Each structure stands twice: as structure tokens, then as C-alpha cells.
Chain A
Amino acid sequence: MTKQVLLTCGAGASSGFMAAAARKAAKKLGADIEVKAKSETEVEASLPDIDLLLVAPHLKYMIDEVKELCETNHVKYNIIPQRVYGALDGKGLVQFALKQFEGED
């Protein structure tokens, strides 16, 4: 089943660019994931519908909050590496996302 990946940052602006690059790369790579981007204020409401939350590296100061929310909702989470985010590396993001699902059926 298609995995739902949500990218988040402060306003959903930079993560929007990142998600657009990732969607292009996912199509090219044939990766079975859907990538969306939202502002951090919308994250909590979105958690029931997603499999993975990827947080923009400039939001790492709020990772404790994210951790708690994701653990309660049984959603995987991680911080996007700076080199992937800074370069708007769509392929890098898709690979990073897929890695989070490794070891699953």
C-alpha cells in the first residue's frame, strides 16, 4: 500500500518546495510513497492519516514535542538531513523516507 509521508516546517513553504522535488523523484524512481507538506501547526491533526513524519532540519528545536505526538499516534518520524534539505535533493529525500520503512513487510 502507498505510504503516506508528511513533510513539515514552520510555514509549509520550504517543505513545500522539498515535497515538490520529492514527488518528481518518487515518480521517476517508481517509489510507492505519497509526499505532502504542511505547516507544523497542522501536524497533529494529520497524524492519523500518515505513516511517516519528516521534520525539516531547521525545526529540530521542537523534536521533543514531535517525538511525543508521533509515539502516541504510532507514526514513524525523523529529521531530514541538512544536505538533502539544503540542496532540495528530491531523490535523497525519497531514499531517506524509504529507509525509514525498512524492516517492515
Chain B
Amino acid sequence: MEEKEIVDRDELAIVSMSTILHAGNARDFIFQAANKAAEGQFDEANQLMKQANDELIEAHHAQTSTIQKEAEGIEIPYSSLFGHAQDHVMTVKTEYNLVKEIIKLYKRLEEK
């Protein structure tokens, strides 16, 4: 019988932690950006959103590289921590999109 390759559990835990950390960094930048926009400092807010996006890309990358292994026939063991890490990425991504809209609103308020 052919032996199936499986992602190592410890390795998966480390990937999950890295995903969570990058998502957390992104969230920190997003909240800072919202505060800057509230103070009318839009250049700073946009800069922070860019930094947030870079962190989100890193978080996504860690997650995607694992998911793609499944497509290559490598089995990913079930891990609640990995699921939790994916939840982090999606939640922060949503916050990113929402704060982007909020920054637009602040800008419009100031133009009035």
C-alpha cells in the first residue's frame, strides 16, 4: 500500500502561530490607522493600512502554503489551532476592509 504523506503536527503548530502573529500585527496597524483617520491625518492612516496589508499578505502566505499541500496530495492533520489561525486571518481581513471604508467616511466628513 502506498504511504500517504502527512504534514507534521509540530510544523503545523508553528505555521499556525506565525499566521496568528502576522494577523495580529495587521490588526494593530489597522486600529492605529483608524485612530489617525479620526484625527484627520490621512497620509499616516494610508501608510499604516499599507503596513497592515503587508502583514496580511504574510499571514495569508503561511496559511495558503499549507492548504496547497492538500492539493498536492499531502494530508493536513486536523488541528483546531490551524483552524483558529485561519479564523484570525479572515477576521482581520474583514476589519481591514471595513476600516478602509471608515477612512473614506472620515475623509468625506472633513471635506464638508
Interface residues of A (CB under 8 A from B): 9-11, 13-14, 17, 56-61, 82, 85-88
CA distance A61 to B25 in the complex (A): 9
Interface residues of B (CB under 8 A from A): 13-14, 16-18, 20-21, 23-25, 27-28, 31-32, 80-81, 84-85, 88
Once the chains bind, are B17 and A61 in contact (CB under 8 Å)? no
Once the chains bind, are B84 and A11 in contact (CB under 8 Å)? yes
Name A's interface SS: helix
Name B's interface SS: helix
CB < 8 Å neighbour of B81 from A10, A14, A61: A14
Once the chains bind, are B88 and A58 in contact (CB under 8 Å)? yes
Q: Which residues of B are found within 8 Å of A61, using beta-carbon distances?
A: 24, 27-28, 31-32
**Within the complex, what minimum Cβ distance (angstroms) separates A72 from chain B?**
23
Once the chains bind, are A59 and B24 in contact (CB under 8 Å)? yes
CA distance A60 to B24 in the complex (A): 8
Q: Knowing A13-B84, A14-B84, A58-B24 are in contact, say whether A85-B31 is a contact too (CB < 8 A).
A: no
A to B CB contacts below 8 Å, 27 in the list: A9-B20, A11-B84, A13-B80, A13-B81, A14-B81, A14-B84, A14-B85, A17-B13, A17-B17, A56-B20, A56-B24, A57-B21, A57-B24, A58-B20, A58-B23, A58-B27, A58-B28, A60-B28, A61-B27, A61-B28, A61-B31, A82-B21, A85-B21, A86-B14, A86-B17, A86-B21, A87-B17
